[in-house]
Amino acid sequence: MKYFEVDFTITPLSEDAQDVLSALAAEAGFETFEQTEIGMKGYVQQALFNEDSLQQIIASFPFSDIKIAYQVIEAEDKDWNEQWEQEGFEPIIVANRLAIHDGRHLPTSDINLLPSSIDIEIDAHLAFGTGTHETTRMICGVLLDSELKKKRVLDCGCGTGILGICALKLGAEKCVGYDIDEWSSDNTRHNAVINQVDDRMTSLNGDATLLDSMIERFDVVMANINRNILLQDMPRFVSVMEPDATLILSGFYACDCKILENKANELGLKLKQTRSDNDWACMVFKRQ
């Protein structure tokens, strides 16, 4: 996975300016940040980097007395999940009905899981989606509360495949996932095999333009992606939805809900519910 490292200089430097810049840059696709003595560094996938958007963020920065400069370099090509892959993660429990774990840290007997709970094992290699993030957990929670029997599901930006695997284990008939990152689409196939749902899972490499030539229609479409990509790709999501299909979106902050709802309304979608967790949000729409 190729990344750019963007070195920001913030003058005068303050924690508030760092916090606001990181929040705005996250909306433009940046994934991680680290503070420096003169500002901060941000990391973004090269395929998702939009310098025009970054320049607009800086030009409209809400602190008029702050000056921001930046330099873009190609980040070292390395396994960004290397430490995670070595250490793994503790089991994650969602609503006492879903246990997400790696192959080394299994749920213990003292975890109060319901008899009808499902179990997902995730072996993540350079892919987002282990259940540790609020947005992943919220979408899993929506799926747990949904009727998925015999439903056809589309997972946009599938990462590890966790959301599609969850839907399949809850009774979905099939899932098609796609991700712009080849390692992620490969990892989805790998995790589908681990969870014995590979006969119902298809993983494609590419972006939302794949939907332009897709004949199949879906009952549930889900996307855990940043706000700007969601706004850009939502018309394509709708183009492959059945007339009464459900759209589940996350990957954005609660303050972004209104702009996403307005876009959804333009496309004939009606908001059914909103969830939030630590300022992150998840929205569920129904096609009318």
As a whole number of Å, the end-to-end CA separation of the chain is 38
* Tokens coding 285: 């729409």
- Condensed to tens digits (0 to 9), the pLDDT of residues 31-72 reads 777 889 999 998 888 888 889 989 999 999 988 899 999 999
pTM higher than 0.85 for the full model?
no
Task: Output the DSSP codes for 97-161.
Answer: TEEEE-SSSPPPTTS---TT-EEEE---SS-S-SS-SHHHHHHHHHHHTS--TT-EEEEES-TTS
* Tokens coding 74: 């190609």
- Condensed to tens digits (0 to 9), the pLDDT of residues 64-107 reads 899 999 999 987 665 545 544 555 556 677 777 787 777 565 55
Residue 124 has pLDDT above 80, yes or no: no
Helix (H) or strand (E) holding 160: none
